[in-house]
Amino acid sequence: MKAVLERGTVEGRPHAALTGGDGMVTRQETVQERVANSTLAQIRDVDIDDVLDYLHADLKKLPDYLDLYRRYLRQRWDVYELDFGQDAIDWRTRMSAEERTAFVAISSGFHHGERQVEVELPVFMLGGSEESKIYMSSQIEDEARHTIFFDRFYREVVALPGTSIQDVLDASYPHVSETFVGPFGLLAHQADELRRDPEDPAARVRYGTTYFLWIEGVLALSVMKITLSYCRTRKLLPAYYSGFTATCRDEARHVQGGMRILRDAVQSDPAMLHEIHETLRTILRMNGAVSRRLALESLGWTPEEVRRLMIRQLTMKLSDVGIDLPPDLREQIDRLQPELAGG
Ligand SMILES: [Fe+2]
Ligand SMILES: [Fe+2]
| 95-112 pLDDT per residue, tens | 999 999 999 988 999 999
For residue 328, how far is its CA from the centre of ligand 2 (angstroms)?
29
For residue 285, how far is its CA from the centre of ligand 1 (angstroms)?
25
The reported pLDDT for the residue numbered 289 is 80
For residue 12, how far is its CA from the centre of ligand 2 (angstroms)?
31
| Distance separating alpha carbons of residues 217 and 252, to the nearest angstrom | 9
**Whether CATH 1.10.620.20 fits 39-334:** yes
* Ligand (nearest to CA of 258): 2
* Ligand (nearest to CA of 256): 2
* Amino acid sitting at position 133: K
For residue 259, how far is its CA from the centre of ligand 1 (angstroms)?
16
The reported pLDDT for the residue numbered 27 is 62
The reported pLDDT for the residue numbered 324 is 87
The reported pLDDT for the residue numbered 319 is 86
For residue 314, how far is its CA from the centre of ligand 1 (angstroms)?
18
For residue 143, how far is its CA from the centre of ligand 1 (angstroms)?
4
For residue 15, how far is its CA from the centre of ligand 1 (angstroms)?
27
**What are the structural domain ranges in the chain?**
1-37, 39-334
Residues 6 or more apart in contact with residue 20 via CB below 8 angstroms = 1, 3, 26
- What's the pLDDT tens digit per position in 225-268? 999 999 999 999 999 999 999 999 999 999 999 999 999 999 99
Contact assessment for residue 221 and residue 310, using Cβ atoms and an 8 Å cutoff: no
For residue 3, how far is its CA from the centre of ligand 1 (angstroms)?
32
* Ligand (nearest to CA of 213): 2
What is the H or E stretch that residue 161 is in? none
DSSP string, 197-263: -TT-HHHHHHHHIIIIIIIIIIIIHHHHHHHHHHHHHHT--HHHHHHHHHHHHHHHHHHHHHHHHHH
Sheet holding 25-29, edge to edge: 4-10, 13-19, 25-29
Beta bridge partners of 9: 14
For residue 80, how far is its CA from the centre of ligand 1 (angstroms)?
16
The reported pLDDT for the residue numbered 209 is 97
* Ligand (nearest to CA of 121): 2
Task: Give the pairing type, strands 13-19 and 4-10.
Answer: antiparallel
* Ligand (nearest to CA of 149): 1
Q: What is the pTM of this model?
A: 0.90
* Ligand (nearest to CA of 139): 2
What is the H or E stretch that residue 4 is in? strand 4-10
Q: What is the mean pLDDT of each run of 10 residues along the chain (343 residues)?
A: 34 44 60 93 93 88 94 98 98 96 92 95 96 97 98 97 96 92 95 97 97 94 92 96 96 95 94 96 89 82 90 89 89 87 70
| Distance separating alpha carbons of residues 170 and 162, to the nearest angstrom | 9
- What's the pLDDT tens digit per position in 21-59? 454 545 667 888 999 999 999 999 999 999 999 998 888
